[in-house]
């Protein structure tokens, strides 16, 4: 419809119409931009100095509390990308069976609990099936590494405790 009107207009009139349109469009656009410049606060964050506060539900790097883990293998079964490796053996019968913090007996001895974070897709399915709720998503999103092998975290090792304390300390601050 607008097209037919444009065709009827003489080229001379069209020339000035174009100039008028360009000026009005530019004016409208610039007025909005100036409004943003003067009234709106910047939305970007200067990252290393200022960190975004993540919501509590944010799903970042997985953390397994190995002391509460009963090595039931359900998380490894639920994982759609098979990134959880668990090694365990049945506890010898003559030994006393320790319990987790919520009273579940630990019938298996956990030898290795490794999560390959480079394979993990952060879907959170493993956290939903855990009977003792020992596997959770932490708030740590800064764990860049130099090689792929470094992404394999064994949660029965000691350095994980130091990492956990650092993350929990950040959370409280």
Partner 1 sequence: MTHDKHEGKHDHDHDDHDKHDDHHHEEVAEVEDYPKDAKEESLKSELLTLNMGPQHPATHGVLRIEIKTDSEIVSEAKPYIGYLHRCMEKHTESLDYRGIIPFVDRLDYLAAMNMEVGYALTVEKMLGTEVPARATYIRTLVSELQRIASHLVAFGTYALDLGAFTPFLYAFDQREKILRFFEEISGARLLYNYVWIGGVWNDVTDTQLDFLRDFIEDFEKELDEYHTLVTSNSIFRDRTANVAVIDLKTCLAYGATGPVLRGAGHRWDLRKVQPYLNYNELEFDVPVGGDNPEVGGMVGDCLNRYYVRMREMRESLKIIKQLLLKFPSGPIMGKVSKIIKLPKGEIYMRTECPRGELGFHIVSQGGKEPYRIKVKSPCFTHVSILPVVGPGLMIADFVAAVGSIDIVLGEVDR
* Closer CB to partner 1, 52 or 96, in the complex: 52
48 in helix, strand or coil?
Answer: coil
Question: Residue 72 corresponds to which tokens in the numbers above?
Answer: 């039931």
Provide the minimum distance between the beta carbon of 101 and partner 1 in the complex, in angstroms, as a whole number: 24
* Closer CB to partner 1, 57 or 173, in the complex: 57
* Closer CB to partner 1, 43 or 173, in the complex: 43
Provide the minimum distance between the beta carbon of 133 and partner 1 in the complex, in angstroms, as a whole number: 15
Provide the minimum distance between the beta carbon of 155 and partner 1 in the complex, in angstroms, as a whole number: 20
User: Which residues contribute to the site for partner 1 (CB under 8 A)?
Assistant: 1-3, 18, 21-22, 24-25, 28-29, 32-33, 36, 43, 54-55, 57-59, 78-80, 121-125, 128, 137
What residues pair up with 115 in beta bridges, in sequence order? Answer: 84, 153
Provide the minimum distance between the beta carbon of 11 and partner 1 in the complex, in angstroms, as a whole number: 15
Query: Which residue shows structure tokens 């000691």?
Result: 158
99 vs 87: CA distance, rounded Å: 19
Question: Residue 151 corresponds to which tokens in the numbers above?
Answer: 């992404």
90 phi and psi, to 5 degrees?
-65, 140
CB 160 within 8 A of CB 154: yes
* Closer CB to partner 1, 47 or 146, in the complex: 47
Provide the minimum distance between the beta carbon of 40 and partner 1 in the complex, in angstroms, as a whole number: 9
Pairing of strands 84-90, 108-116: antiparallel
* Closer CB to partner 1, 13 or 121, in the complex: 121
163 vs 119: CA distance, rounded Å: 20
DSSP-derived secondary structure for 13-28:
HHHHHHHHHHHHHHHH
């Amino acid at each position: 419809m607008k097209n037919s009107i444009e065709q009827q207009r003489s080229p001379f009139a069209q020339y000035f119409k174009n100039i008028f349109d360009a000026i009005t469009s530019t004016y409208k656009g610039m007025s909005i931009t100036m409004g943003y410049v003067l009234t709106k606060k910047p939305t970007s964050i200067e990252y290393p100095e200022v960190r975004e506060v993540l919501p509590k539900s944010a799903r970042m790097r997985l953390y397994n509390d190995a002391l509460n883990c009963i090595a039931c293998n359900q998380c490894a079964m639920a994982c759609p990308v098979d990134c959880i490796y668990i090694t365990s053996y049945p506890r010898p019968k003559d030994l006393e069976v320790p319990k987790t913090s919520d009273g579940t007996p630990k019938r298996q001895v956990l030898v290795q609990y490794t999560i390959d974070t480079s394979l993990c897709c952060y879907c959170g399915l493993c956290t939903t099936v855990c009977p003792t709720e020992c596997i959770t998503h932490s708030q740590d999103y800064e764990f860049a590494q130099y090689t792929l092998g470094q992404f394999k975290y064994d949660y029965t090792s000691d350095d994980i405790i130091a990492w956990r304390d650092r993350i929990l300390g950040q959370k409280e601050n």
